[in-house]
Amino acid sequence: MTTRRPCPPAPGPLEAYATQFDPLLASVAQRRGFRDYVQGLLLPRDRNKTLTGLADAEPITGAQHREVQRLQWFLSESAWDHEVVNNRRVQLLCEDPATAPHEAGVLVIDDTGDRKDGTATAHVARQYLGSVGKIDNGIVAVTSLWADERVYWPVHAVPYTPASRLPGGDRDPGFKTKPQLAVELVQAAREAGIEFQAVVADCFYGDNPGFTDALVAAGVPFVLALKPRKGTWAPADAAHTPTEAAAELGWRGPSRPGQWRRIQRRFRNGHSETWWAADAQLGGWGPERRLRLVVATTDPARLPGHSSWYLLTNLPRPASRRAQQANLAEVVRLYGLRNWVEQGYKQVKGELGWADFQVRSDRAIRRHWTLVCCAFSFCWQTFLAHHPAQPEPLDPQAASTATQGAQPTGHRRGTGRAPVVAAGPTSGAGLADPMDRATALLAVVVASAPTAAAPSAA
C-alpha cells in the first residue's frame, strides 16, 4: 500500500483539528481544500466569506484565479461526502469531555432563513425568512443544536425546499414540511448517540400537531412554546387559549399566589430574576394528562408578552408538592436554553459566513454549511482546551434554577427579542465565546501562514 502524499499543514492549532478529518478525504487536494476553506472562514470579517474572499483574491477579477478555482472545485465538484465529515465533527465533540453531550442538556430545533437573489440557486424561493422577519426571496435551513448552560454547538442542518420549487407542489413525493424535517433531525441526533433531557423549540413547532405527535410516538421528551392565543376546543365556559388558562390560576398577589409557584432564574452574568410558574388546564392538556401546559412569567397579574412563556411538555408531573415546584423550575430552565440557538446564528452568520456562499447546487450548499459548522466547533474545542478551568455541567436537579439567554417576546422569530445574555459580558469574563477565541486564533493563523497570498489578492 502506497504512503499518502503529505499535505501542506494548516497554521497554528488548526492543523491538529484538520488532521482528524484526513482519513475521510481521499486526495491531497481534498485535504488541502478542507484546511484552506476552514482557515478562510476563520479569518477576520473584513469582507464576505465568498470563494474570492476565502482565497483573499479580488472580488470580481480574481474569480478566475487558480486559488479561487481550487476552492470552487473542492466545494462543488470534488468527491467527498459532507455527511461523513459532519458525522466525524459530531463524534469529536461527543468524545471531548469539554463538549460531550449529557442528559441535562437540550436539543434545540429551529430554522433560519437568509436572502438570496434569483431562483437558479437550489431551494431559493419567496418564503418566510426569520433573519428579516418577513416573506422575501431566500433560502431556509432547518437546524438542530445541542446546548447546556456552558456550551452549545450545531448538530445537523438541512435545507428546506418550498413546494413552489417542486413539480408536484405540496403534493410532490419529495416535499417535506419544516416540522417533518425537524422530526428527522431529532432522529438523526438520537442515532448519533447524543444525549439530551428534552427537545425544545419555539411556537412554530409547538403549534404543529404533527411534530408533537411524532415526538410522543417516538418517546422523545420535549418542551415546546405555544402562541399565547393558540385556540383549542373546550366547553363554552372553559378556557380556550393559553392566556385564558393562565388567568384561571388564582393569582391574588405574592402572598396569595393560588396555583403559581415561585422559581428563581439565575443567568450566567450573575443576574437573577424571580419568575412564577404553574400547571394550567386547557382542553386535553393538564397536570395529570399526557401533555401538560406550563405557564411561566415574571408577572402573573399582567402576563407581559416579553417575559411570559406558554410551554407544552410531556415531562411527567411529580406527585409531591415540593417536587412539583422543582419540576416547574426545570421545565423553565430547559426552555431557557433554547436562546443559545439565536446566539449561534449570530456567530455563524456574523463571523463565519453561513449565508455568504455563491454556489448554486444543493450539494455545494450543504458542504459549505458543514464546513462552517467545522469552523464553529474548532473554535469551541480550541477555546476550551486553552481554558480548562470551566464550570462542570449542572446536574438536572441543580440546573433547575440556572438558565441563560433572553426572554422571547412571543413573536414567531427573533425580530423582537431582547439581547442574548451570553453576548453581553466582555472577553475575560469566563464565558466560552467562540468568536472572541477565533479572533485570537486567527492572529496565529495570519502570522504563521505557510504560503503567501495570491498575486491578485486585494
Residue 273 is inside which H or E element, if any? strand 272-280
Q: Which of 15-29, 103-117, 162-176, 429-443 has the lowest mean pLDDT?
A: 429-443
The gap from C-alpha 219 to its chain's centroid, in whole angstroms, comes to 22
**Average pLDDT, stretch 2-28?**
89
CB 250 within 8 A of CB 262: no
Whether the predicted pLDDT of 337 surpasses 60: yes
Whether the predicted pLDDT of 317 surpasses 90: yes
Provide the pLDDT for residue 30.
Answer: 96
Q: If you average pLDDT over every residue of the chain, what do you get?
A: 85
CB 145 within 8 A of CB 346: no
Provide the pLDDT for residue 417.
Answer: 31
Whether the predicted pLDDT of 457 surpasses 80: no
CB 181 within 8 A of CB 142: yes
Whether the predicted pLDDT of 404 surpasses 50: no
Residue 58 binned pLDDT confidence (cut-offs 50, 70, 90): confident
Provide the pLDDT for residue 389.
Answer: 52
Provide the pLDDT for residue 432.
Answer: 40
**Average pLDDT, stretch 397-407?**
40
Residue 230 binned pLDDT confidence (cut-offs 50, 70, 90): confident
Nearest CA among 306, 296, 362, 363 for reference residue 335: 296
Cα angle 374-356-86, degrees, rounded to a multiple of 5: 20
Cell of 121: 440557486
Residue 396 binned pLDDT confidence (cut-offs 50, 70, 90): very low
Percent of the chain with pLDDT over 70: 84
Rounded CA-CA distance 248/260 in Å is: 11
Which span out of 1-10, 228-237, 324-333 was modeled with the highest average pLDDT?
324-333
Provide the pLDDT for residue 297.
Answer: 97
Cα distance between the two ends of the chain? 43
Looking up cell 416579553 gives: 306
Cell of 369: 454549511
Q: How do residues 158-210 score in pLDDT, each as one tens digit?
A: 999 999 999 999 999 999 999 999 999 999 999 999 999 999 999 999 999 99
Q: Which of 56-70, 207-221, 406-420 has the lowest mean pLDDT?
A: 406-420
CB 43 within 8 A of CB 446: yes
Rounded CA-CA distance 17/8 in Å is: 14
Rounded CA-CA distance 97/118 in Å is: 45
Q: What is the CA radius of gyration of the chain?
A: 23
Residue 341 is inside which H or E element, if any? helix 340-350
Whether the predicted pLDDT of 231 surpasses 90: no
Provide the pLDDT for residue 41.
Answer: 93
Q: What is the pTM of this model?
A: 0.86
Residues 6+ apart with CB under 8 A from 26: 79, 80
Nearest CA among 112, 93, 110, 109 for reference residue 101: 93
Provide the pLDDT for residue 60.
Answer: 75
**Average pLDDT, stretch 332-348?**
94
Cell of 255: 402572598
CB 255 within 8 A of CB 409: no
Residue 99: phi and psi, rounded to 5, are -125, 0
Reduce the DSSP state of residue 157 to 3 states and report it. Answer: strand
Q: How do residues 78-133 score in pLDDT, each as one tens digit?
A: 999 999 999 999 999 999 999 999 999 999 999 999 999 998 999 999 999 988 88
